[in-house]
Amino acid sequence: MERKKRDLFGLEREEAVLKQKKIIGAVAAGCALLAILIIFLVSRGRAGAGKSGTESTASVEYAVVTATPEPTQPAQKAETQVNFPHSEGFTEKVTILSTGDNLIHEALYQDAESPDEQGYYDFRPIYAEVKPLIEAADLATVNMETPLATSIGDPSGYPHFNSPRGAGYALIDAGFDVINHANNHVMDMGAEGVYATLDYWAGYDMPVVGAYRSSDDMYDIRILESNGIRVAFLGIAEFLNYDIPSDSRLCVPFFSDGGLVEDLIKTAKAEADIVVVHAHWGEENEDVITDTMSVMSQRMVDWGADIIFGNHTHIVQDLKILTRESDGQLCPVILSGGNFVSGQKERSHLLSGLEVVTAAKNPDTGEVEIENVEYLPVVTHYEGDRKNVRIIPVDKYTDEQAAKHGVVDFEGEPMTKDYLYELIDAHIPSQFIVTTDTISIKDKAAEMASADAAEESAAASVSEDTESAEEASGTDEAAETGGGEEDTGETEDEEDGEDNGGEYDEYDEDDGEE
């Protein structure tokens, strides 16, 4: 569906000015180069006076060619060290984590479906290696790119996504605290699908931003408190693939409605200490910073946004630190977090990161400040035709794993750690890049990993005891009756399907598109 052109409440004028500046700059640069070339040619012609015209022409051609420098390695991107404040008295701290798009393709359904129970999907193994880190953050939020509306229709993939309920349960299990649905796919299953998705999350008391049941619901700002700091969450989209019906009360805030975006941010700022905005914007699959990104990011910061987590382009884009004009607050903005998980077939679409922001508050004055920003690169790994899908920190990703990555069968180029780090270095300033050994929440993550392992061990023990008891009971019953009616296990399957899965559907060949 073709994207509608929107008047970005005055952005068209700014875009025109920016374009004029670019044109003027390009013309000036061209004129300067032409003048230099003319002077150079004239000087060479004078130096070659007395030679034949053929010789002179050859000399000039040689000079022009050799004037072009030999190809060199790309220069390192100039970086300016950001010095975050660590003011005295700011004793209350909170860590806020986000990442890229959670984009569930058919191939991921197929990988997650139980071979023993049709219609039962377990996506939890995908997140197992990053789960302790997500749990370790005080607050974690993620953009769920696809609806969870199997209560009204079968699971489906691109271009009309509808994910099994197990995909939502896996995010809850992984430790996320807030879900964003302000994205272009939220209306893939229509208005009824949006309500079904919101109903699903409501069943788990999970706060949702970006898609609201009504205007009143939209102004009921989602605020979570941790360590004495109140954090508000908002979600804003640039466009939807399908319009909201005119008679529907559903609300999705758009960047095109600048007055609404400003009012939401200022309302949130009045009620909370920190304002986090999910921004779904940019050009899919294009590493370009659009005018919406550059202009709106600064405007939102000036309106009161403290942290902006951008997404939509499927590739990692720049991490910037903007300064709020009114109070000098340093505000981190990740223009795009890439794909946290997906079934896409390009290497660049399989990179993301865990973005962790540490904010601090002075309990006496109520002032807040951003103290630290960290970026832990992660890669979506799969084998063959997107089997054994896992999210793995890049610093823990081995060369042996990379050599098995199935992306080579699609793109023709192998996955390598060097390639991943090239992408990271191009967009993420080095001062923010961390590893699993240096990230600030590593100790808490280790505690979470130990707790998760103990819980899994206890659950496995209970399961073994239950199976042994059932076997013993069945043996005793058989001895008494000489047999018995076979237990179909339908009740257990139905319960599992409700809690951690969804209806099953035959899938078409997945093309890895969004």
User: In one letter, which amino acid is 152?
Assistant: I
**497 contacts 119 by C-beta, under 8 angstroms:** yes
**Could you tell me the two tokens for 490?**
């339908």
CB under 8 A, 24+ apart: contacts of 199-202? 199/151, 200/148, 200/149, 200/151, 200/165, 200/168, 201/148, 201/168
Residue partners of 395: CB distance under 8 A and separation at least 6? 376, 377, 435, 436, 437
Task: From first to last of the 514 residues of the chain, give the pLDDT tens digit.
Answer: 333 333 333 344 344 434 444 554 555 556 556 655 555 554 444 444 333 333 333 322 222 222 323 333 334 455 789 999 999 999 999 999 999 999 999 999 889 999 998 889 999 999 999 999 999 999 999 999 999 999 999 999 999 999 999 999 999 999 999 999 999 999 999 999 999 999 999 999 999 999 999 999 999 999 999 999 999 999 999 999 999 999 999 999 999 999 999 999 999 999 999 999 999 999 999 999 999 999 999 999 999 999 999 999 999 999 999 999 999 999 999 999 999 999 999 999 999 999 999 999 999 999 999 999 999 999 999 999 999 999 999 999 999 999 999 999 999 999 999 999 999 999 999 999 999 999 999 999 999 999 989 988 887 777 666 666 666 665 555 444 444 444 433 333 333 444 444 433 333 334 456 6
Q: What is the pLDDT of residue 182?
A: 98
Q: 357: part of which helix (H) or strand (E)?
A: strand 351-361
Q: How far apart are CA 227 and CA 104, in angstroms?
A: 33
Alpha carbon 243 to its chain's center: 23
Cis before 159 (ω within 30): yes
- 83, burial (CB in 10 Å: exposed 0-12, middle 13-18, buried 19+): exposed
- Strand 351-361 relative to strand 330-334, pairing: unpaired
pTM (predicted TM-score): 0.79
Q: What is the pLDDT of residue 109?
A: 87
Q: What are phi and psi of 414, to 5 degrees?
A: -75, 150
Instruction: Give DSSP secondary structure letters for 129-152.
Output: TTHHHHHHSSEEEEEE-S---TTT
Q: How far apart are CA 254 and CA 260, in angstroms?
A: 8
